[in-house]
Amino acid sequence: MKPRSLHKWSLDPSLDGLVFLAQRFDELLFDYTLDSYKPAALNAPSLCTEALTVISAIEKDQTEAANLIPVLEELEWSIHGDIVAKSLMDVELDQYILPNPDTPLLEKKLRLEVLNRTLRSNRYIDRCKDKLANAVLQKHKRDIDFLARSLVTTLVNHGVSKAFLYQRTQDFFFKGSAPVIASTDALKPFLDGISPVIHDFNVFFIVSNDIKLIKKSLDAFGLKVHESFPADLVASAMKLDCVPESGEVIVEVENVRSFDCYSARKQAERRIDMLRDVFTLFSHRNQLSWREGTLINQCCIEVPVVVGSTKNAMQKRIDPSYILASAKLNSMISNLGLRHGSTFEKFNRIVDIHGICVTNDVPENQLLNLWISLETLAPAKGAKIGRVVRALEPFVKRHYVRRLVTAALRDLMIWNPRITRRVLRNIPLAKGLRMVPRLLRLLSLDTNSESRQSLYDECGDYHLLRYRIYCLHKLLESPKSVQAAIDSHWKKVDWQVRRIYRTRNSLVHTGDAPSYLGALIENGHDYLDMVLDAVIDLSCGERKIETLDQAFELEHLLAIGFRRRLDSLESFTDDNVGFLCEFQ
């Protein structure tokens, strides 16, 4: 979370809600935001659609009826906390979902179809915008937080590119010099500018000259080859340095209908990708290639733009510096205990598949390989999905608080390292402690309320950081609140892992890829890396764990000890709170 300049703003207390919204949108759409603060992969409208998709698969004998249960559970949970969905519904939730297992599937399907029309995306987006405008006026940060997150989730699942939303947020709120944002009236043009409207695009790729050899096949893929750009685009192409050189030609994809230029590029590139894949059936060594920069002409905009490919979902992770990563690698090679026969081979196989995921830019392949990695890593006890879920649970639960506090420290240091160090130095009884346990005590203990207030005051117009610190304090203020947060987080991870598995099966058996595939890849990668990091630490640490089964069993025992210790506490003190952020 990086603070953005507010030089475009005429700041006034009446704008606090709008500033918070702008900062929250920036965080939601930033590629390297912690998973807990990213947009949800699905919300009420998309969960309803997913439930109908699962029912359809059940009817076709493509999946078992049991797979519908977690989807309906998540749908019910989602709507209970969704102020937009509840405002759109005509009757109580149980009249739509029909949770009774004895209810015929056809009756459940009909009720969910009605709910799906009730929560359809365009209707949901309009109501969400209305509520967001009111929340901004009232400066209700909790509602703004929920509504902004839910709006982004709905827009992305409707087909609007996350990259487009990020660009619009930066351009409107943070970049350039005009216009100055002086009132909450600025919210309407921003929301109108990100609303889903279909446009016509012509997309121009600069492709290797080899494509002319298969010119007769291009019509089947909706592609046209040109030696130069159309006359009305030549000047813009030269200005944007998007001109073919020797050995290159222009390939046009006409009349691409999409919501934004990023989505249009992705849609158009699928056609060339498909052509390249078919061509490799006959030529394995010689493959078509094209530049990343693509000239795109939009129907309602006079000047074309050059758009590159969006970031690979597997690369949306915060990496340590090259020096730190090198030190970690050297330490692992020197100390790794997983060197015994099949364990070492299995670990190497997981590392290889992880590497393929990172370097391969085909989302469907990434998700398939991520699932293979998770399934290979998990102990071989029970059915596939059950054993992966059981294997992940202790890691997710035990490391949740530490990950939140570590992310908060990173955000504070990016914002202002001088103020952060000064506040943390004032934590009583913290002599000799590192910064993460100091921050944990600042966030959790009542004795540090004055220091917390000092930090709130220092945040100034960085309303999002103040809100994030406040929310973490409420989460960490008692053992019961920590238990509730961990259990809630695990419930959502459980649902998401099962969704990854269902999506994997759908890709294998039907080839269907959902609109939220990118979010599943980001989450799956996060789960895999979290477990691998912990396993490596357990193997390289004092215990020198020798097998993956030992690592999972030890993590299971550590999680039991963690939960029992949490259950035994009535309140947190300086002496007992530290275990929340201990790695082992």
What is the rounded distance in angstroms from the CA atom of residue 76 to the CA atom of residue 93?
A: 7
Classify residue 93: in a domain, yes or no: yes
Classify residue 460: in a domain, yes or no: no
Amino acid 348: pLDDT: 81
- Residue 381: helix, strand or coil by DSSP? coil
- Note whether 218 and 286 are same-domain residues: yes
Q: Which residues of the chain have pLDDT under 50?
A: none
What is the rounded distance in angstroms from the CA atom of residue 123 to the CA atom of residue 236?
A: 38
Distances (CA, A) of 80 to 75, 124, 439: 9, 15, 33
User: Mind giving me the DSSP string for 474-530?
Assistant: HHHSSHHHHHHHHHHHHHHHHHHHHHHHHHHHHHHHT----TTHHHHHHHHHHHHHH
- Pairing type for strands 305-307 and 248-258 reads unpaired
What is the rounded distance in angstroms from the CA atom of residue 522 to the CA atom of residue 504?
A: 14
What is the rounded distance in angstroms from the CA atom of residue 548 to the CA atom of residue 379?
A: 8
Number of domains in the chain: 3
| Residue-range definition of the domain harbouring residue 143 | 13-38+123-194
Vertex 425: Cα angle to 421 and 428 (nearest 5): 150
The DSSP code for 459 is: T
Question: What are the φ/ψ torsions at residue 201 (nearest 5 degrees)?
Answer: -125, 145
- Residue 448: helix, strand or coil by DSSP? helix
Could you tell me which of 370, 371, 390 has the C-alpha nearest to residue 382? 390
- Note whether 148 and 292 are same-domain residues: no
- Pairing type for strands 305-307 and 294-298 reads antiparallel
Amino acid at 565: R
- Note whether 33 and 179 are same-domain residues: yes
Last residue of a domain, one of 307, 329, 361: 307
Classify residue 184: in a domain, yes or no: yes
Last residue of a domain, one of 86, 104, 119: 119
Amino acid 192: pLDDT: 96
Element (H, E) at 413: helix 384-415
Could you tell me which of 50, 58, 55 has the C-alpha nearest to residue 78? 50
Which residues face 224 on adjacent strands? 252
Classify residue 74: in a domain, yes or no: yes
The residues near 281 (Cβ < 8 Å, ≥ 6 apart) are: none
- Note whether 152 and 266 are same-domain residues: no
What is the rounded distance in angstroms from the CA atom of residue 478 to the CA atom of residue 565?
A: 13
Amino acid at 298: Q
- Note whether 167 and 288 are same-domain residues: no
pLDDT tens digit sequence for 536-569: 888 877 777 888 888 899 999 999 999 999 999 9
Could you tell me which of 496, 489, 477 has the C-alpha nearest to residue 570? 477
- Residue length of the chain: 584
Helix locations, 89-120, DSSP H: 94-97, 105-118
Number of other residues whose CB lies within 10 A of the CB of residue 284:
8
Greatest alpha-carbon span in the chain: 77
Classify residue 129: in a domain, yes or no: yes
- Note whether 177 and 282 are same-domain residues: no
- Note whether 67 and 140 are same-domain residues: no
- Residue 258: helix, strand or coil by DSSP? strand
The residues near 10 (Cβ < 8 Å, ≥ 6 apart) are: 180, 181, 182
What is the rounded distance in angstroms from the CA atom of residue 176 to the CA atom of residue 167?
A: 12
Classify residue 393: in a domain, yes or no: no
What is the rounded distance in angstroms from the CA atom of residue 326 to the CA atom of residue 232?
A: 51
- Note whether 229 and 300 are same-domain residues: yes
Could you tell me which of 91, 54, 86 has the C-alpha nearest to residue 69? 54
417-425 vs 384-415: helix crossing angle, rounded to 10? 100
Reported as half-sphere exposure (CB side, CA atoms, 13 A), residue 373 has a value of 28
Amino acid at 70: P
The DSSP code for 14 is: G
- Note whether 276 and 289 are same-domain residues: yes
Classify residue 369: in a domain, yes or no: no
CATH (domain of 299)? 3.30.70
Q: Which residue has the tokens 């030529």?
A: 283
Number of other residues whose CB lies within 10 A of the CB of residue 488:
12
Classify residue 87: in a domain, yes or no: yes
- Note whether 269 and 136 are same-domain residues: no
Q: 165 and 256 in contact (C-beta within 8 Å)?
A: no
- Note whether 137 and 237 are same-domain residues: no
Amino acid 474: pLDDT: 97
Q: 293 and 204 in contact (C-beta within 8 Å)?
A: no
What is the rounded distance in angstroms from the CA atom of residue 286 to the CA atom of residue 152?
A: 41
Last residue of a domain, one of 307, 329, 352: 307
Q: Where are the beta strands (DSSP E) in 348-474?
A: none
- Note whether 94 and 211 are same-domain residues: no
pLDDT tens digit sequence for 436-489: 999 999 999 999 999 999 999 999 999 999 999 999 999 999 999 999 999 999
Report the predicted TM-score, pTM, of the whole model to 2 decimal places: 0.92
